Amino acid sequence: MTTKRIGILTAGGDCPGLNAVIRSVAKSAFGLGWEVIGFEDGFQGVVENHFRVLKNPDVSGILTQGGTILGTSNTADPFRYPIRKRGQIVFRDYSDHVVRHVKELELDALVCVGGDGTLTIAKKFLKWKLPIIGIPKTIDNDLSGTDFTFGFDTAVHIATEAVDRLHTTAASHHRVMILEVMGRYAGWIALYAGAAGGADIILIPEIPYQMKFVCEQVKARAGKGKRFSIIVVAEGARPKGGRMVVKRIVKTSTDPVRLGGISHVLGRDIERLTGLETRVSVLGHIQRGGSPTHDDRNLGTLFGHKAIELIQRGLVGYMVALQNGNITQIPIRNAVRKRKLVPRNHPLILATRAVGTSFGD
């Protein structure tokens, strides 16, 4: 049996299930007699050669934990690496550091766990023939080539529970309650949580809304004696002909645009146009925290094991994926070719429309 040495990093935003993947990759590798190196804080660890050799005790008992024991970073892009010089942030291309350190450590593979930003970086390194395997992580579920990413199910579970809790206070005070959820430019979390929570209105980026239809829905409910309404809005939702609400710009990030605040805009408009008392809740990073659901634990375990299987077969340059219930692989370049958005004819959209849910259109 050939002894291999592999590296693993977790990059981009954190999410529940990362430790399940680390555990699965490491323990599957240990079972083959391989060595595993964990890079700290995403690509920053590879650029600066900060790592630790993982042993079985390091990855035992972490399956249920949120976050990542290796740390992460969403600003450490080796091709645009931020450094401080004379009190200012400047950017340098340190991709050669990554190539050098991977070769010096004689890694047979580098497992990159992340979303579109992380895997776009990974794709760039393929031209240097670096042996990279990708594992899709994002609560946004917006990576092409995989039906679901781990982290998504937990985020939906948390958002759905928030909708359930808002129902009781909305009914008690006869209010319009708005819940803003994450998802960036895709509406997967809002759709799944809104549908599961029985929201009266779901607003997603893929279907620009019109205020007149939103207001008509809440007024129609009030007219029928339904004295409250629940609205779930994705942070990337926008009015027809309008723009997404940008909360701030983080210049050092791989994705500098930070969305957020659409719920406050929506709430002010609804209250002004309908006279109905409206309250806003922004779920934010609560969706990223805490223990992963059983589905995310199992998906992370399956993805991690599949990554080791690909390395065994000498298949690098691939991302593991879930397709039609099967764990498979696709070229990394295909996974980041385009963002996976919610199709307008998605079965869940059709079903929720049928039961009376409005999408503001």
Q: Give the per-residue pLDDT at 172.
A: 81
Residue 255 is among the residues annotated as catalytic for this protein: no
Per-residue pLDDT band at 249 (split at 50, 70, 90) = confident
Per-residue pLDDT band at 136 (split at 50, 70, 90) = very high
Which SS3 state, helix, strand or coil, does residue 209 take? Answer: strand
Q: Give the per-residue pLDDT at 92.
A: 94
Q: What amino acid is encoded at 176 in this protein?
A: V
Question: Above 70 in pLDDT, residue 90?
Answer: yes
Domains and CATH numbers, the chain: 5-150+292-335 (3.40.50.450), 153-289 (3.40.50.460)
Q: What percent of the chain has pLDDT over 70?
A: 99
How does the average pLDDT of the chain come out, rounded? 94
Per-residue pLDDT band at 254 (split at 50, 70, 90) = low
Per-residue pLDDT band at 336 (split at 50, 70, 90) = very high
Query: In this predicted model, what pLDDT tens digit does every residue of 155-173 receive, in sequence order?
Result: 999 999 999 999 998 888 7
Question: Above 70 in pLDDT, residue 39?
Answer: yes
Mean predicted confidence (pLDDT) in 299-314 = 97
Q: Compute CA distances 319 → 29, 137, 144, 163, 304, whole Å.
A: 18, 11, 11, 34, 11
What are the residues facing 109 on neighbouring strands? Answer: 6
Is the distance from CB of 237 to CB of 341 less than 8 angstroms?
A: no
Which SS3 state, helix, strand or coil, does residue 195 take? Answer: helix
Q: Compute CA distances 206 → 71, 178, 198, whole Å.
A: 32, 19, 20
Sequence-distant (≥ 6) Cβ neighbours of residue 158 within 8 angstroms: 283, 286, 287, 290
- Determine which one of 140, 142, 200, 296 is catalytic: 140
Q: What is the dihedral of CA 26, 30, 35, 36, to 10 degrees?
A: 10
Reported as half-sphere exposure (CB side, CA atoms, 13 A), residue 171 has a value of 8
Sequence-distant (≥ 6) Cβ neighbours of residue 297 within 8 angstroms: 17, 20, 63, 64
